[in-house]
Every structure is written in structure tokens, then in C-alpha cells.
Structure 1
């Protein structure tokens, strides 16, 4: 079973660590996909999100941005809402 959150990361990424810490603190299951050495997956990620930075975070398959966006969703209460109800693509 796939977790509701997928987080694409690279080695030595402080923002990736921050995002994973928040998810862990909130007891939110996530799948981590390391794109450090996977050029094909990294290219797909750029195409899917339009962003070259990591982390890139998906909730129920919908991209939400990076660590800053995740923290803002958490502060606003929107993160819990999005996790409770799968968004249609």
C-alpha cells in the first residue's frame, strides 16, 4: 500500500530533512524517493512539477511544492484536510 505522501529527496538536503521531520512529528506516513543518482526519475520530477529543487512533495498524487509549502499547509490546517480527503487529479 502506498503512503498518502510521497517526498522526492536528494542526499544532503536540509529542506528534505525539515519536511520529513514535520511529517514524522505529525505521524504522517510517507514514501521517500531519493533522486540523487536517478537522472530519469529526476527528469520526470521536473516535468511533473516544473521545479528543479527538492524536496518535491505529493499528497495523494498531487504535487504541493516543497518544505515551505508543506509547513504552510500544516500551519493553516490545510495539510490535515488534504490528507483526510484524497484530491482528484
Structure 2
């Protein structure tokens, strides 16, 4: 099973939506709340070029946020990423 890390904040509905999809699929993930962590949030901006959350990584590769995660699911590509 792939290593999944999701960076979130505690008031983010998109974070909840992404986590719900992962949970429905039975995926174990590490959640890192960056609500009060400016340093980690800045690291995310440098790594992904994005300021928004969630930021989801599968096997250390950034896949984007909730919209991108759901798009992978609709395209039938998420299961393959999660299996690797």
C-alpha cells in the first residue's frame, strides 16, 4: 500500500472531503495539521507552489488537493496509485 500524507487545517471542508474519500477506500494516511504551523505551511508552498489545503502526497509525490484526488478517482487512476 502506498504512503499517503495529507496536509490539512482544522476548518477546511475540502480537507474533510478528501479524507472521507480516502477513508471510504480504506486508505491509511498520515494527517499533518498546519493550522498553526507557519514553517510547515511555507515548506508546502515551496514544494508545491500552492498555498491551499489539503495538499496530498502519495509516495512522496504531490498529487494536489481534494479536486485532483477526486479527479483521479473518477478517471479510475487512484487505485493504481494507492496500490504502488
Report the TM-score, using the length of structure 1 for normalisation. Answer: 0.90
Asked if 1:46 corresponds to 2:45, the answer is yes
The runs of at least 4 aligned residues of structure 1 exceeding 6 Å deviation read: none
Equivalenced residues, count: 83
Cα deviation, 1:17-58, whole Å, max 9, x if unaligned, reads 000000000001110000000111000011010000000000
Asked if 1:36 corresponds to 2:35, the answer is yes
RMSD: 0.9
Report the TM-score, using the length of structure 2 for normalisation. Answer: 0.95
Tell which has more relative contact order, 1 or 2 (C-alpha 8 A, sep 6+): 2
SS of 2:31's partner is: strand
Q: Offset of 1:66 from its aligned partner?
A: 0.2
Provide structure 1 residue ranges, at least 5 long, that are not aligned to the other structure: none
SS of 1:32's partner is: strand
Distance (Å, rounded) in 1 between the aligned partners of 2:29 and 2:74? 19
